[in-house]
Amino acid sequence: MKVLVVGSGGREHALVWKIAQSKKVDKIFCAPGNAGIKEIAETVDVKADDTPALLKFAKANKIGLTVVGPEVPLVKGIVDEFMKEGLKVFGPSKELAMLEGSKVFAKETMKRFSVSTADFMVFEDADKAKAYLRKKGVPVVIKADGLAAGKGVIVAEDTREAEQAIDDILVKRIFGEAGNKIIIEECLRGEEASILIFSDGKNIAPLASSQDHKRIFDNDKGPNTGGMGAYSPAPVVSGKLFDEIIDSVFRPIINGLASEGRPYKGVLYGGLMITENGPMALEFNVRFGDPETQAVLPRLKSDLADIMMACIEGKLNELKLEWDDRPCLSIVAASKGYPGVYEKNKNISGLNTVRSIKDVAVFHSGTALRDGNIVTDGGRVLAVSGFGKDIKSARDTAYEAMDKIKFEGIYYRKDIGDKAIGRI
Ligand code: AMP
Ligand code: GLY
């Protein structure tokens, strides 16, 4: 079977790497891919959100399975377009991609199926929003409804900050149409965890738990990023709590949507806050996480192409997912200045040295090939994932390998996994 993976980040590199291990897959294409992906797949010069060009490519090349990495093509409806042409594609429909594409849609869906989540109200008018804010007080969380590249959530500790966020989104329109509506929601306290499941519309197969590190600096300081590192499993989600999350968050959503005649197929990512009162859903994503995927997929022993086909064909109940018991920890290296302005085109060295280290994999995020050299080409540049008998040795393996990779201005957090190690 030929597979097409859509996207160009570390998540897509990990997806391609894992799918390449399938005995049923003889060729993988990736559009548009990056320099790391190019080493194991044929990259195709088509943008991830150019659905007509992707469709044309898939038909011309008899692609047996298309896997969509990022949310934008899903929200634009790539799955519906491919299905209309009889092509197999892994991901939810356009309608259900709105679980990520619209926070209002997501919260209303959660409410309808009684999923535990923070109390909220929806506003289109800044004055009404501020009146509600005065009544509720701070801290409070303000969210733009639509996709805002991870910048649409403001956790406001004081009233001035909250009013500013309301004005920025509803009046100044800093997120454009993504800010036609906002949500004002109760601020939850606790530790965050990401749980992902596969679903074929009715059956659920959970992935191993993981935890991201969203802030740029050590000890969770500084601005939010796309994610600076992850590890799996997440000790904060112990066995009993994990089951509770599946039963109280995912089953109601999957069963509820099925009962409305719109089954959710693909991977569903729940961002959760583990509060004193139990797990609460913060958000849903309709895709794999980045960098969670780089820590989770190396632990998956089962055939990922089989799992994805089972999701599409409604046969997930016929599979049992097998996992490597060893923890995996992934560190992201970023360009100097990220998540603000950063430079590109810096030569990366050490990749060949790291290739020979046991229990380590490197996944490229923002890299490109220039004159035969691999250079930086993004804010997040690459992730180094390491295995260990426990989380501490996984961390040591990953950091030892990361030490060997160099480029001008390289930055990575030094505390990935520390919280998990502290907990054990
Ligand atoms: P979201 O995109 O909704 O997951 O929000 C991004 C980040 O904002 C989350 O990972 C949390 O750190 C934070 N956040 C979102 N909602 C809340 C909430 N209700 N209470 C506290 N923090 C939140
Ligand atoms: N790591 C966060 C995300 O993928 O949304």
Taking the centre of ligand 2 as the mean of its atom positions, its distance from the CA of residue 61, in whole angstroms, is: 31
Clarify whether residues 138 and 238 are in a common domain: no
Q: Atom 4 of ligand 2 has which residue's CA nearest to it?
A: 289
- DSSP for 257-281? HHHTT---EEEEEEEEEEETTEEEE
Residue 372 Cα to ligand 2 midpoint, Å, equals 31
Q: Is the dihedral angle over the CA atoms 110, 111, 117, 123 positive or is it negative?
A: positive
Q: Are residues 307 and 233 in the same domain?
A: yes
Residues 248, 294, single domain; the answer is yes
Ligand 2 centroid to Cα of residue 11, in Å, is 10
Among residues 419, 391, 274, the alpha carbon closest in space to that of 330 is found at 391
**3 state DSSP class of 194:** strand
| Residue whose CA lies nearest to ligand 1 atom number 4 | 283
Same domain, 250 and 174: no
My answer on whether 290 and 405 are in the same domain is no
SS3 63: coil
Distance 216 CA to ligand 2 centre (A): 14
DSSP 404: T
Q: Which of 105, 117, 119, 153 to mutate to test the pocket of ligand 1 (most atoms within 8 A of CB)?
A: 153
Q: Kindly state whether residues 201 and 271 are assigned to the same domain.
A: yes
Closest ligand 2 atom to 289 CA: 4
Question: What per-residue string of b and e applies to 95-110 under the rule 16 or more CB within 10 Å gives b?
Answer: ebbbbbbbbbbbbebb
User: The CATH number of the domain where 418 resides is what?
Assistant: 3.90.600.10
Query: What is the per-residue pLDDT for 84?
Result: 98
Position 186 in a domain: no
Q: Is residue 305 part of a domain?
A: yes
Residue 306 main-chain phi, psi, to 5 deg: -60, -45
Q: Is 344 among the domain residues?
A: yes
Query: Is residue 415 one of the residues assigned to a domain?
Result: yes
* Range(s) of the domain holding residue 379: 328-423
Give the DSSP letter string of 234-263: -TTS-HHHHHHHIIIIIHHHHHHHHHTT--
Give the residue ranges of DSSP H helices in 77-153: 78-84, 94-101, 103-112, 126-136
Residue 384 lies in a domain: yes
Q: Which atom number of ligand 1 is nearest to the Cα of residue 103?
A: 3
Contacts of 42 (CB under 8 A, 6+ apart): 27, 28, 29, 30
Report the CATH number that the domain containing residue 81 is assigned in CATH. 3.40.50.20
Ligand nearest to the CA of 186: 1
pLDDT of residue 239: 86
CB 75 within 8 A of CB 94: yes
Decide if 288 is inside a domain: yes
Q: What is the pLDDT of residue 5?
A: 98
CA of 421 to the centre of ligand 2 (A): 22
Peptide linkage before 298 cis (omega within 30 of 0): no
Helix (H) or strand (E) holding 330: strand 328-334
Q: Which atom of ligand 2 is nearest to the CA of 287?
A: 4
| CATH number of the CATH domain containing 216 | 3.30.470.20
**Torsion sign across C-alpha atoms 123, 129, 133, 135:** negative
Closest atom of ligand 1 relative to the 214 alpha carbon: 10
Ligand 2: centre distance to CA 85 (Å)? 30
pLDDT tens digit at each of 424 positions of the chain: 999 999 999 999 999 999 999 999 999 999 999 999 999 999 999 999 999 999 999 999 999 999 999 999 999 999 999 999 999 999 999 999 999 999 999 999 999 999 999 999 999 999 999 999 999 999 999 999 999 887 899 999 999 999 999 999 999 999 999 999 999 999 999 988 889 999 999 999 999 999 999 999 999 999 889 999 999 999 889 889 999 999 999 999 999 999 999 999 999 999 999 999 999 999 999 999 999 999 999 999 999 999 999 999 999 999 999 999 999 999 999 999 999 999 999 999 999 999 999 999 999 999 999 999 999 999 999 999 999 999 999 999 999 999 999 999 999 999 999 999 988 7
- Predicted confidence at residue 123, as pLDDT, reads 98
Q: Of 202, 149, 206, whose CA–CA distance to 178 is shortest? A: 149
91: closest CA among 243, 285, 233, 297? 285
Quick check: is 114 in a domain? no
- The pLDDT value recorded for residue 149 is 80
> How many angstroms separate the CA atoms of 397 and 360, rounded?
7
| CATH number, domain with residue 141 | 3.30.1490.20
Residues 308 and 361 grouped into a single domain: no
At residue 331, the pLDDT reads 98
Count up the domains in the chain and report the number: 4
292 Cβ inside 6 Å of ligand 2: yes
